[in-house]
Amino acid sequence: MKIAILSRSSNIYSTKRLLEAGKARGHEVEVIDTLKCYMDITSKKPMVHYQDRILDDFDAIIPRIGASITFYGTAVIRQFEMMGVSSINESVAISRARDKLRSLQLLSRKGIGLPITGFAHSTKMTQELIKLVGGAPLVIKLLEGTQGKGVVLAETDGAAESVIDAFREMDANILVQEFIKEARGSDIRCFVIGDEVVASMKRTAKVGEFRSNLHRGGSAEVVSITKEERQMALDATKALGLNVAGVDLLRSDRGPLIMEVNSSPGLNGIETSTGKDVAGMIIEYLEKMDKHTTETKGKG
C-alpha cells in the first residue's frame, strides 16, 4: 500500500512511529504536511495538490490533525475521501470528536455515562449552571481547548461564577461539568482500534494539578480495565464513527464516565507505559480496512 500520514512534522513521536511501522510492514509511507496541501475542488475530478505534485496515487491516509487546524485538516481529508482514498478516521467523525459539545450530545443520545454537564449562552444563567452540576468544586472547559488547555477547576461557587462570567465577556463557548473528586486526579486512557481496546493506561496528575494530561507533567502506568469500561470505550468510539480513538474515562462512585474521545490520540504515553506496538496495530488495521469502513453511519 501507499500511505500518506497527514501531519505537521515527521519529528513528532506518533508520526515517526507510524512511519516506521508502515515501512516495517513493507508499505510505501510518506508524511504530508497538511497545511501545505491545496485543493482543486471540482465536480468531475477533485484533486489534492502538494508543493509541485498532485497527490493522486495514495491508497490510504492516516490523519494526525491537531486541534488548531481542525477546519482546514478535515477539508483536506474530505478531499481525499472524494478521490476514493481510504482514511483510517473519516472527516465527519473527526469533526464530531473535536466539538466537545456535539460529541457529548451524541454520547448522551446513546445512553453512555457522562459527568453532569451544563451549557448556556446567557450570563444570567451562571448561577443556574453552577447549581445544575452540583455546585463547586466544578470544572469549566473551553470548547476549543485541548491537552488540558482551557480547563479550569473552580474550588468555590464564587470563583466559578467569576471564571464563567470572564469567559462569557470574551464571547468564549464553555462547558461546566461536575468535578469527580473520587477519581483523585487520575483518568483511564483506553486506546481503541476497530472493535478492540488494544491498550490502556492510568494517567495521574502531578502534585498540585488536577489535569492528568502527560503534556502537563502527569504520569502514566499500565492498568487493567473492567468489562464495563472496555464496553463503554468501544460504544463511545462507535457513537462518533471513529475507527481509531483514545477514550478518556473517569472512575466515579456511580461507575465509569466518559470525559473525552480523542480522534488523534498520541502514541508516546500508551506505547511507553504498556510496551505495546500500537503503531504497528494501526497499520495492521489499515491493511484490513475496507474502503466502506469509514462511511459514517447515522446523523449528528
pLDDT, one tens digit per residue, over 237-248 is 999 999 999 999
- Give the separation between CA 104 and CA 112, rounded to whole angstroms: 9
Q: Is pLDDT of 292 > 50?
A: no
Q: Is residue 171 predicted with pLDDT exceeding 70? A: yes
In the prediction, which pLDDT does 40 show?
A: 92
pLDDT of 94 above 90: yes
pTM equals: 0.89
pLDDT tens column, 25-83: 999 999 999 999 999 988 788 999 998 899 999 999 999 999 889 999 999 999 999 99
Residues 125-163: tens digit of each pLDDT? 889 999 999 999 999 988 865 555 778 899 999 999 999
CATH (residue range 182-294): 3.30.470.20
Listed by start position, the domains of the chain span: 2-96, 117-179, 182-294
Q: What is the model's pLDDT at position 39?
A: 95
Question: pLDDT value at position 151?
Answer: 86
- CATH code, 2-96: 3.40.50.20
Which pLDDT belongs to residue 121? 77
pLDDT at 100 over 50: yes
**Quick one: fold of 117-179?**
Dna Ligase; domain 1 (3.30.1490)
Per-residue model confidence (pLDDT) at position 265: 95
- Mean pLDDT value across residues 18-28: 98
